[in-house]
Structure 1
Amino acid sequence: MNVSSELNFDEMLRIRLAVLQREHRDLDEAILAIEARVNPDQLMLRRLKRQKLGLKEQIVKIEDELIPDIIA
């Protein structure tokens, strides 16, 4: 593989960010589907919400890495 065809660090972060955002949306949809049930599984909801929060933390961390520091 030559250097020009390799992904740089920012590109890898952007790809990872897109994957995490998609997983976050999927969890949101799953949570809504479970909540719509007559007797929603509260344990499952807590687990999914905790997982969603973890994904959000990873997303914020990557977004912070991608935004350049601005010295005021």
Structure 2
Amino acid sequence: MAGYTEEYELPDFTALLPACRRFANLYSYVRLLSSTAERWDHEPSWLIHLRQRLEQAMAENTAEFMMEL
């Protein structure tokens, strides 16, 4: 970016950062949702713990969905 800004003037994107963060959280949530959708009858313990951590990450991402931009 530094080399590009030496040649061209870029607009200030700081106002768009909250919207970009919201989209990144939404995208991450959907990816995790599809990853955790399939369940097996006899899952190993490491997979159960991983699923719990992923579901916690999904809950953290949803906290920002309703925040006003």
Superposition TM-score, scaled by structure 2 size: 0.67
Q: Percent identity?
A: 8
1:57 deviates by 0.9
When the two chains are superposed, the root-mean-square deviation of aligned CA atoms in Å is: 1.9
Larger radius of gyration: 2
Gaps of at least 5 residues in structure 2 are none
Q: Which residues in structure 2 correspond to 1:1-72 (within 5 Å)?
A: 2=9, 5-9=11-15, 11-33=16-38, 35=39, 37-40=40-43, 41-61=47-67, 64=68, 66=69
Take 1:8 and 1:54, find their aligned partners in 2: how far apart are those partners?
Answer: 23
Take 2:50 and 2:34, find their aligned partners in 1: how far apart are those partners?
Answer: 13
Take 1:56 and 1:47, find their aligned partners in 2: how far apart are those partners?
Answer: 14
Take 1:51 and 1:19, find their aligned partners in 2: how far apart are those partners?
Answer: 13
Gaps of at least 5 residues in structure 1 are 67-72
Take 2:14 and 2:48, find their aligned partners in 1: how far apart are those partners?
Answer: 42
Superposition TM-score, scaled by structure 1 size: 0.65
Larger helix share, 1 or 2: 1
